[in-house]
Structure 1
């Protein structure tokens, strides 16, 4: 059996991303390990308290030899535009979750709106990653 265990997002600043995903979105730290033998590489993961089988890896954009400078700059440019992928979050009440996250200081790019698949809203993390918060219709997919 194959399942999804983790997903990775590029982040500009791991500490800033950690604060956003824990303090504002409500995730918890799963791992925060720095490995000196790998050039102080930091493995930082978070996840939902109610979803133990999934982690989100908050990955710093690496330098040489993993990623050349031009590629790192390309990643930063795509992140700034919100085009490095999208994290899709679901909720049972989009309007309520929207209000709760606003109260925690989350800035939304789109307020909740009715869509064919449910109620959907948009936000971005401090690195520019696109996040959708959606209340999916029960009869959809």
Structure 2
């Protein structure tokens, strides 16, 4: 009997506005819009992908006070998402040129080269080139 074929495929990110967020992630991070489906009632299924990774970022528009309060701080100030690259220095320079706000200088860790940046809402991401 073989093990079940499972994976984490989609991560939801609470945002203030679908288009504002999708445009920022496309323009600044180079993500591609995979889906944009109108679900009615002002809701949409908007997903973004990076290359052929298979992972998807689902933009979930905040509704109500509780969700709106979490836009930009879904993890209490910890790094939330990880943008992996095969060339840290190339992509770090490109993101800086596009105005992405890094919170620190690049550093080498046991697991790779990394630097923390903030997205348009203040969520923290790692740009990381894993150690090979």
If the length of structure 1 is used for normalisation, what is the TM-score? 0.79
- Across the aligned residues of Structure 1 and Structure 2, the Cα RMSD in angstroms comes to 2.1
Residues of 2 paired with 1:4 and 1:45: CA distance? 14
Match of 2:14 in 1: 10
Among residues 22, 41, 45, which one is paired with 2:47 in the alignment? Answer: 45
Match of 1:92 in 2: 86
Match of 2:56 in 1: 55
Match of 2:122 in 1: 128
Residues of 2 paired with 1:34 and 1:41: CA distance? 6
Residues of 2 paired with 1:19 and 1:111: CA distance? 26
Q: Which runs of structure 1 show a deviation greater than 3 angstroms over 4 or more consecutive aligned residues?
A: 76-83
Unaligned runs of 5+ in 1: 64-68
| Number of equivalent positions | 128
If the length of structure 2 is used for normalisation, what is the TM-score? 0.84
